[in-house]
Amino acid sequence: MATLVPMPVSKGRKKANKRPTPPKNPVVSQVEEKGPSPTWYVATMFGLMAVGIVVILINYMGVLPGGTSNLYLLGGLAMIGVGFAMTLNYR
């Protein structure tokens, strides 16, 4: 008959401090320094996107002079692209 010998229990490791110590002088972020975006910037951003969509839709309806043209399509897409690029600086 075999006798059961208890397994030795290992010592646990000390847990590392998971949070870094906070800095003594907190740095103010650049967004707080600059403040929110001006109203004209937001209006221009959304206006370019909206006008780009309208140009593309009117192009497909054939209302613009010259009928349907790829230049109108590219112009509308460019306006939408510039509007989306402006969102990178939006605060």
> What is the C-alpha separation between 46 and 43, in angstroms, rounded?
5
Amino acid identity, position 74: L
The pLDDT value recorded for residue 1 is: 67
The pLDDT value recorded for residue 32 is: 59
Q: Please, which pLDDT band fits residue 7 given cuts at 50, 70 and 90?
A: confident
DSSP state letters, 24-85: SSPPPPHHHHH-SPPHHHHHHHHHHHHHHHHHHHHHHHT-STTSS-HHHHHHHHHHHHHHHH
Lookup: tokens for 14: 């000390």
The pLDDT value recorded for residue 29 is: 62
Q: Give tens-digit pLDDT for 18-72.
A: 787 777 876 666 555 788 999 999 999 999 999 999 999 999 998 988 888 999 9
